[in-house]
Amino acid sequence: MSEPAAKKEERRKFQAIRGTRDLLPPETALWTRVEQTAHEVFRTFGYGEIRVPIFEPTELFARAVGGETDIVSKEMYSFEEGQSKGLFGDGEGMQDSMDFINAQNSPILMDKYLNDLTAEYETGAIARTADNERAIATIRSVSKELFAISKPSDEGPEDLAIKRFFEYVALRKPFEEKLQDAWLQIRKRDQISLRPEATASVCRAYIEHNMQQLPQPVKLYYMGPMFRRERPQKGRYRQFYQIGAEVLGGTDAPAIDAEVIEMLVTFFDRLGLEGTELSINSIGHAVDNCRRGYVEELRSELNKVKDKLGADSQRRIDTNPLRVLDSKLEHEQPIIAALPKIADHLCDECKTHYAAVKRDLDLRGVKYVENWRLVRGLDYYMRTAFEITARGLGSQNAVCGGGRYDGLVELLGGPPTKGIGFAIGEDRLILSLQESGKAPSQQSLDVYIAWMGPNAYATAIRAAKNLRAAGVSVELPPTEQKFGKALERSSKLNAKFALILGDNEVSSGEWTLKTLATGDQTKITEANLLAHLKQRQ
Ligand code: HAM
């Protein structure tokens, strides 16, 4: 690097990574108010706070959210950690894969390595992930195919034997390549991901701490950062914040669904969030004649209009046809409007459940609209699905999403357990509050202490300490200031009062308090100060 370039590099200004951001005062005061309100409202509904780790095994999210979803397949921040625990040293390099392939020449060695590999997977030395399981199954089956290619005899003329041998090598080659690919796909270190959401973690914690033994249902809420590698735009970040709640265990009574939604609405009302709209739907459950039947019909209808759909929707016909209903593409809208609707496919149980949820919402005075196209982007949902949109958010207007997920705890190795919950996008909630003028414009300060002279400094320290102990915010300047300068600063800091302490005030015990908005000035004793401030607030 040339010298000027090195200097420039040294002076490089670092910036927050794309999709992440700093939250600064005074905006953070609004974040605190929102979070405080969540603590208060959720407590009144009997919820307790849970704090789960920021990172978890990748497999937890793959299993819970779904390997084919955008969140898991494209958006997770994943990394490997820990010591490699596989065969042959670090087990991941090319040389190791060659050793493995060469071992396939000897039936005894091949058997040994295959057995070792399986044993390591079963004991968990090689991470027990769906990807690893697939790779090992491929290795087993390809090894069998390879074994079936018998070595030619080297009887007969030498050039014929050589020719046969090269044919044999060529025949083996594609199988060996397949084996090598599969070998290199085995991930032998722990696969970890930053959490893209927290429902999977809460269910993991429910199982890990035997919460099924507590009185059911267990009602938990959480708040904190989540991570998804999405294309950043207004209201969409790579590190974003959620406030979420989950109800686990007990029954799937529709009243639980309705109460979860009522709590959400109460929270938004308490914050003064405007222009919200709650959409609900039932997506049935994954049995033959309910959702599965619907998905099949949807797929076949979509295949009929495949040519008219965009690339994303075309791909989703195979991977997850329900997600086509989510499409925002203008030209797809009339096509989607004509597709079959899930409501016509719900089984009797799901229909009854959905009708009861709606009745219960009515009883609670919760307003909603039904949206048959609301399907949600995570695999664990069944029956009730809901979303809330809010004003001022542009295209990313979903401020909250949630739904029922009976079966998820079981999928993660726990007992059959009912579950329902939601997560609010806190960044979007804040944006919407700001857009509707609900944000404090500037951090407020109660008292600025303008002290002059060493005697006054000691008194100022005492006054600051006592006022702060009573919850009053105080700015105590670190150095002495001239009177005019002190007043200038107090108004720059938006203080409500200036407490003026000079030699006269200290010796007489009569302090001067100036109300900055009006300019009024009064004399006051130390004993009366606090009561006076409280009265004027
Ligand atoms: P989700 O719909 O993926 O659901 O996310 C919930 C909310 O998080 C969204 O409605 C949105 O407000 C916010 N959000 C999502 N991605 C971003 C982003 N990149 N930037 C800013 N905000 C974002 C879940 O996460 C489920 N775990 C909700 C749930 C809990 N279902 C049952 N229990």
Place of tokens 């029956």: 383
Rounded CA-CA distance 163/523 in Å is 112
Instruction: State residue 87's pLDDT score.
Output: 58
Q: What residue owns the CA closest to ligand 1's atom 25?
A: 197
Phi, psi of 130 (to 5 degrees): -60, -40
SS3 label, residue 218: strand
Asked if residue 321 has its Cβ within 6 Å of ligand 1, the reply is: no
Asked if residue 196 has its Cβ within 6 Å of ligand 1, the reply is: no
Asked if residue 402 has its Cβ within 6 Å of ligand 1, the reply is: yes
Q: CA 396 → CA 72, 137, 392, 404, distances in Å?
A: 20, 42, 9, 23
Prediction pTM value = 0.86
- Residue 16 CA to ligand 1 center (angstroms) comes to 22
Asked if residue 66 has its Cβ within 6 Å of ligand 1, the reply is: no
Give the DSSP letter string of 54-103. Answer: SEEEHHHHHHHH-TTSHHHHHS--EEEES---SSSTTS-SHHHHHHHHHH
Asked if residue 176 has its Cβ within 6 Å of ligand 1, the reply is: no
Asked if residue 403 has its Cβ within 6 Å of ligand 1, the reply is: yes
Radius of gyration of the chain (CA): 33
Asked if residue 379 has its Cβ within 6 Å of ligand 1, the reply is: no
- 56 Cβ contact partners less than 8 Å away, ≥ 6 residues apart: 192, 193, 195, 200, 201, 204
Per-residue model confidence as pLDDT tens for the chain (537 residues):
666 777 777 778 899 999 999 999 989 999 999 999 999 999 999 999 999 999 999 999 999 999 888 999 999 999 988 766 555 555 455 566 677 777 767 777 778 888 888 888 888 778 788 888 888 899 889 888 888 887 777 788 888 888 888 888 888 889 888 888 888 888 778 889 999 999 999 999 999 999 999 999 999 999 999 999 999 999 999 999 999 999 999 999 999 999 999 999 999 999 999 999 999 999 999 876 798 889 999 999 999 999 999 998 999 998 889 989 988 889 999 999 999 999 999 999 999 999 999 999 999 999 999 999 999 889 999 999 999 999 888 888 999 999 999 999 999 999 999 999 999 999 999 999 999 887 766 778 999 999 999 889 999 999 999 999 999 999 999 999 999 999 999 999 999 999 999 999 999 999 999 999 999 999 999 999 999 998 876
Residue 287 DSSP one-character state: S
Rounded CA-CA distance 135/118 in Å is 11
User: Would you state the structure tokens that stand for residue 420, as one six-digit string?
Assistant: 């329902």
- Residue 444 CA to ligand 1 center (angstroms) comes to 32
Contact 376, 421 (CB under 8 A): no
Rounded CA-CA distance 252/229 in Å is 34
SS3 label, residue 116: helix
- Our mutation pick for probing the ligand 1 site, out of 197, 252, 268, 424, counting the most ligand atoms within 8 A of Cβ, is 197
- Residue 401 CA to ligand 1 center (angstroms) comes to 6
Asked if residue 240 has its Cβ within 6 Å of ligand 1, the reply is: yes
SS3 label, residue 395: coil
Task: Return the H-helix or E-strand segment holding 316.
Answer: helix 311-319
- Residue 534 CA to ligand 1 center (angstroms) comes to 42
- Residue 296 CA to ligand 1 center (angstroms) comes to 27
Instruction: State residue 394's pLDDT score.
Output: 87
Instruction: State residue 132's pLDDT score.
Output: 87
- Our mutation pick for probing the ligand 1 site, out of 242, 323, 374, counting the most ligand atoms within 8 A of Cβ, is 242
- Residue 376 CA to ligand 1 center (angstroms) comes to 10
